[in-house]
Chains A and B, each alone.
Chain A
Amino acid sequence: MMTTPIPANPVVNRRFRLQWEAAQDSHVLLYPEGMVKLNASAGEILACCDGVRSIDEIVATLEAKFQTAGLRGDIAHFLAYASQQKWIV
């Protein structure tokens, strides 16, 4: 399988808008005439993609926020998918 490299300081692609949708009780990605509804962890990860934080910093941020460890694998896996979908650049 071809894998898309994860950007070093990922940022949400300007072609999408990430926002919290109360009606969906989730983060969503909005794009022309469409919407992707994100699950809770995907929303938390994308919300950290500000173009400044590195992958290490994103992992640290989320592990601190949820007071847990060992998130790196899941985060990297999702970011690879998000990159492939062009949600992040």
Chain B
Amino acid sequence: MKPAPAPPAPHWLLAELTYRCPLHCAFCYNPLHYDAVRHELTTAEWIDVLRQARALGAVQLGLSGGEPLMRDDLEELVAEARRLGFYSNLITSGVGLTEARIAALRRAGLDHIQLSFQDSTRELNDFLSSTRTFELKLKVAKLIKQYDYPMVMNCVLHRYNLPHVDKIIEMALELGAEYLELANTQYYGWAMKNREQLMPTLAQVREAERVVAGYRERIGERCRLLFVVPDYFEDRPKACMNGWGQVFLGVAPDGVALPCHNARDLPGLDLPNVRDQPLAAIWRDSRAFNVYRGDGWMREPCRSCDEKARDLGGCRCQAFMLAGDATAADPVCAKSPHRHEVDRVIAFAAGRAREEQPILFRTNANSRIMKPRT
């Protein structure tokens, strides 16, 4: 076997500071058993992770979770990130972002805040997050502008809010958003559990696409609208993570290093922990970061596919969830022998009545009844 070429530097460090979250979103990608994950990294341990990642060449830092504002050392971590030369992105629901904290984060050198919304209406926002947070988010959006941050809004889309994507865009414009990510639900973690409930119909997706295109034409550069068609409705998979172990390095609250957000749910990876090994060894040498690097792991139909360099076989987690094999082609691909699994879900979405199955909210109590993968 010839030695693999040295991997590129990780560009993006995602620090999932905590799984604690005041929201209970039905489409959260966090692991179902998050409540069993205890012993969060300490401030000193996170600072060490930041230093090591920066030395590896990481430059973009995502501060996420859960809700990263649940950590009261966030300001300290941001200050260290700034000293190290990271560009730091806070990915937040806005809950806990008081004026005192945003001022402190600004002083510490935070570069950017991405604020999530669940919907443009109070009713749906609060229902889908199972909280009363809508008014608070409006206040936070104003604070973000006041502290001269680029205003990046994110709204996760599914069949409940796709029909009023126009209202979501209007709200973003009213709040002065410079970017609006209309992120169609990706079916992992809690979202996978609620897939039958959240999956839109093809007609909803196409209509939303049309509405977004209309707005793009009208508003020009005032606000950049990002809308990605959910991959279930495409016939080729996404180039997941821009390639396994190429760009993305995630660190979970307990120090587990992740080649993708949902790697915890893949079997047999033996995920390394930053508490046990240097980050450089994890990134370069660990089995978990090498197992799907490049294309040596591929089977047919990917192995001989002339498009494999473009989509890299798609998403390993989706292959595992839908085809039962993490080395299979992503079943979203029309060339996959498991594509019928995806079509079945879409057909079900088109035919179903609305309230057959209750949504399972992401709560600590619900998490406790989920079995962790061992």
- Chain A interfacial positions (CB closer than 8 Å to B): 14-15, 17, 19, 21, 23-24, 28, 30-35
Contacts and interface: CB of A to CB of B under 8 A. Distances in A.
B85 A32 contact: no
B28 interface: no
A32 B57 contact: no
Nearest to A86: B221
Contact of A30 (B59, B62, B148): B59
A28 B59 contact: yes
Contacts of B215: none
B59 A32 contact: no
Contacts of A35: 11, 59-60, 87
B114 to A, nearest CB: 7
Interface residues of B, number: 18
Given A30-B60, A31-B150, A32-B150, 19 more contacts: A14-B148, A15-B150, A17-B111, A21-B57, A21-B59, A23-B56, A23-B59, A30-B87, A30-B111, A31-B87, A32-B89, A32-B111, A32-B112, A32-B179, A33-B62, A35-B11, A35-B59, A35-B60, A35-B87
Nearest to B112: A32
Interface of B: 9, 11-12, 56-57, 59-60, 62, 85, 87, 89, 111-112, 114, 148, 150, 152, 179
Nearest to A28: B59
List the 7 closest pairs (A to B, CB-CB), nearest first.
Answer: A23-B57, A30-B87, A32-B112, A23-B9, A32-B152, A15-B150, A33-B89
Contacts, number: 37
A84 to B, nearest CB: 12
Nearest to B152: A32
A14 B89 CA distance: 15
A17 B148 CA distance: 14
A30 B85 CA distance: 10
A19 B11 CA distance: 15
Contacts of B114: 32
Nearest to B87: A30
25 contacts: A14-B148, A15-B150, A19-B85, A21-B57, A23-B9, A23-B56, A23-B57, A23-B59, A24-B57, A28-B59, A31-B87, A31-B150, A32-B89, A32-B111, A32-B112, A32-B114, A32-B152, A32-B179, A33-B60, A33-B62, A33-B89, A34-B60, A35-B11, A35-B60, A35-B87
Contacts of A24: 57
